[in-house]
Amino acid sequence: MELLLQIDKYDDQINGGGLSSDDIEQIKNELEFAGEIELSERNIGPGADVFVILASILTIANVFSLGDKIDKGIEGWIRIANRIKNLIKKKELVAVDSDGAALLALNFINNLEKVDSIQKTSEQEVALVDFSASHLFGDDRKSEDLISKPYNYYIFSFLINDEKLYVIGVKTNGEVNLIKCFDAFSMYGIREVNITPQQDV
């Protein structure tokens, strides 16, 4: 999982001489994600420089593989989503990749109903900007890197508890929206389920 961060107290270092090894260790501790974390300073400003901290949480990858049903460890995924939400509340999150977006979607759904099982049935990434083909940065970024496409809209569909199919949209800044919810096994055409999102989900 990759996150792009702007942390006010490190702005001078990011825009000056760079993060020290002590800064890096302190940021890793503040993030509170278990496992190996790599941090680097990256630029996402195609004109004027916009430096951010790229945090790669190496132990979190392919959170929900397409088609795989998960019915164990959901509470752990929700705890990770809550850590991402804390970064949003502190206004430190610039962008999250599709893994992080999927976790935020799970957290959103779990606030609507208890999730006992989840299966990702589809995923689409809408890149609102694409810096991967640009030579403005002169670095080694690849098209699949979050720094190449920092502003995305992810659309997921999840089968929840073998009953409902949720279609969820997530912006890279962490904003989550319910697009639609359907009865997953209606024998009589398309049957929508009315869901009322709660505040702050």
Residues near 142 by beta carbon (within 8 Å), at least 6 away in sequence: 132, 148
Q: Which strand (E) or helix (H) includes residue 2?
A: strand 2-5
Among residues 47, 44, 36, the alpha carbon closest in space to that of 14 is found at: 44
* Per-residue model confidence (pLDDT) at position 154: 97
Query: Which residue in the block uniquely carries the two structure tokens 């589809």?
Result: 122
Query: Which residue in the block uniquely carries the two structure tokens 């969820």?
Result: 168
Average pLDDT over residues 28-33: 88
- Tally of domains within the chain: 1
In the β-sheet with 93-96, what is the strand arrangement from edge to edge? 37-43, 51-57, 2-5, 93-96
Q: How would residue 23 be classed by pLDDT, with cut points 50, 70 and 90?
A: very high
Average pLDDT over residues 30-34: 85
Q: What is the pTM of this model?
A: 0.88
Residue 189 burial (C-beta neighbours within 10 Å; 0-12, 13-18, 19+): exposed
Among residues 73, 60, 103, 109, the alpha carbon closest in space to that of 85 is found at: 103
197: in domain: no
pLDDT, the chain, mean: 88
Q: How would residue 105 be classed by pLDDT, with cut points 50, 70 and 90?
A: very high
176 vs 111: CA distance, rounded Å = 12
194: in domain: no
pLDDT digits (tens, 9 = 90+) for 138-185: 777 888 889 989 999 999 999 999 999 999 999 999 999 999 999 988
Query: What residue numbers bound the domain in which 143 lies?
Result: 2-183
Compare 19 and 66 and report the one with higher pLDDT.
19
Average pLDDT over residues 111-116: 94
Q: How would residue 133 be classed by pLDDT, with cut points 50, 70 and 90?
A: low
Asked if pLDDT for residue 62 goes beyond 80, the answer is no
The percent of residues in the chain predicted with pLDDT above 70, rounded, is: 94
42: in domain: yes
* Per-residue model confidence (pLDDT) at position 82: 94
For the ranges 28-42, 86-100, 186-200, which has the lowest average pLDDT?
186-200
Query: Which residue in the block uniquely carries the two structure tokens 């800044």?
Result: 173
Asked if pLDDT for residue 12 goes beyond 80, the answer is yes
Asked if pLDDT for residue 200 goes beyond 80, the answer is no
